[in-house]
């Protein structure tokens, strides 16, 4: 029987309609305009689809040759989430932000890549297509799982890895999904209540109108087709030799911060771990200047002193 080319695949993400997709892209562009000026946008092909890539800075030509930063966003959305961070990061060195296929963004998802080895293959192919042989990799939430998985499975291109309140350290619990559901519902609350809800939920996006609209449209426009990732086994974490920095929010509901503050440096040789107070799952959104400065300092240590000189550290700030 001939294959129906119009059949909707159930194992890849998709937009519900062109109209909602275009409205969502317009909302994302508002956030991009709030960040650093884009140097360029490009598409690169991988075995799993087309990956859309944003390129920023640096403004100083002398910094152009520095090891670049590659940003991997969280689940469901796009590189627009990095708008608080791109101005500070791109002053120091080149920055690339990758839209992960399978989430609501400008990449085109064609083949499933939720499996750990496939996810690592996708990232390696994307970096290779960009001509990036050495990068400082940064991931948030689900992107945190992706970068930890990369450090375990395909670390050859990685100068360092920074994981921001990441998946991959422990099983995603019910409390996190309840928080996501309540936060999404709270985006519909009256304007006067949003600051109070943002504080109560440790959800800064509720107080940023442009981000609130973007999240609402993304939830309506796109259907994700992948399971929640399983955490890395302890042996997998022990195998990581790439310099690692884990930053968690004190009120995170994705991880147990104090547990991971002790666990990560114990399992990963030389790893740094830190808890940022007055934030939950989005430390880089709540405190972009603080998190940017600490990430850049970590990368500077790796570049100037070498991986062997980056020593384990764990503390709450």
- Per-residue pLDDT of 78-136, as tens digits, reads 999 999 999 999 998 999 999 999 999 999 999 999 999 999 999 999 999 999 999 99
What average pLDDT is seen over the chain? 90
SS (H, E, C) 40-108: EEEEEEECCEEEEEEEECCCCHHHCCCCCEEEECCCCCCHHHHCCCHHHHHHHCCEEEECCECECCCCE
CA-CA distance, 86 to 95, in Å (whole number)?
8
pTM score, two decimals? 0.91
Q: Which residue has the higher pLDDT, 9 or 220?
A: 220
295 is written with which tokens? 């990430």
CA-CA distance, 203 to 254, in Å (whole number)?
13
**pLDDT score recorded for residue 269:** 93
**How far is C-alpha 105 from the chain's CA centre?**
13
Which of the 8 DSSP states describes residue 243? -
Which of the 8 DSSP states describes residue 169? S
Q: How confident is the model at residue 187 (pLDDT cuts 50, 70, 90)?
A: low
Domains of the chain: 14-316 (3.40.50.1820)
**pLDDT score recorded for residue 316:** 86
Q: Which residues, including other chains, have CB under 8 Å from residue 26's CB and lie 6 or more apart?
A: none
Burial of 156 from C-beta contacts in 10 A (0-12 / 13-18 / 19+)? exposed
**pLDDT score recorded for residue 181:** 62
3 state DSSP class of 217: helix
In the predicted structure, residue 70 carries a pLDDT above the cut 70: yes
Region 188-207 average pLDDT: 64
Residue found by looking up tokens 């929010």 in the block: 249
């Amino acid at each position: 029987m001939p294959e129906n080319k119009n059949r909707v695949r159930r194992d890849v993400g998709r937009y519900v309609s062109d109209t909602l997709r275009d409205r969502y892209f317009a909302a994302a562009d508002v956030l991009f305009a709030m960040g650093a000026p884009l140097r360029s946008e490009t598409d690169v092909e991988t075995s799993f689809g087309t990956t859309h890539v944003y390129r920023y800075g640096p403004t100083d030509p002398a910094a152009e040759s520095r090891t670049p930063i590659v940003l991997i966003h969280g689940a469901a959305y796009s590189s627009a989430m990095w708008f608080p961070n791109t101005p500070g990061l791109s002053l120091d060195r080149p920055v690339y932000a990758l839209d992960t296929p399978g989430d609501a963004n400008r990449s085109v998802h064609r083949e499933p890549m939720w499996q750990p080895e496939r996810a690592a293959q996708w990232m390696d192919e994307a970096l290779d297509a960009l001509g990036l042989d050495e990068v400082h990799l940064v991931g948030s939430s689900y992107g945190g799982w992706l970068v930890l998985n990369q450090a375990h499975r395909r670390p050859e291109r990685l100068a360092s890895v920074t994981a921001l309140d990441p998946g991959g350290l422990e099983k995603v619990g019910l409390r996190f999904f309840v928080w996501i559901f309540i936060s999404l519902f709270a985006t519909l609350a009256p304007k006067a209540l949003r600051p109070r809800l943002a504080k109560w939920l440790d959800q800064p996006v509720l107080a940023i109108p442009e981000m609130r609209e973007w999240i609402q449209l993304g939830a309506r426009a796109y259907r994700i087709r992948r399971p929640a990732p399983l955490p890395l086994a302890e042996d997998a974490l022990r195998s990581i030799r790439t310099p690692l920095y884990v930053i968690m929010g004190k009120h995170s509901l994705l991880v147990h911060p104090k547990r991971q503050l002790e666990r990560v440096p114990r399992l990963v040789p030389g790893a740094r771990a830190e808890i940022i107070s007055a934030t939950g799952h989005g430390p880089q959104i709540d405190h972009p200047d603080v998190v940017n400065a600490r990430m850049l300092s970590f990368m500077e240590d790796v570049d100037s002193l070498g991986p062997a000189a980056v020593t384990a550290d764990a503390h709450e700030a």
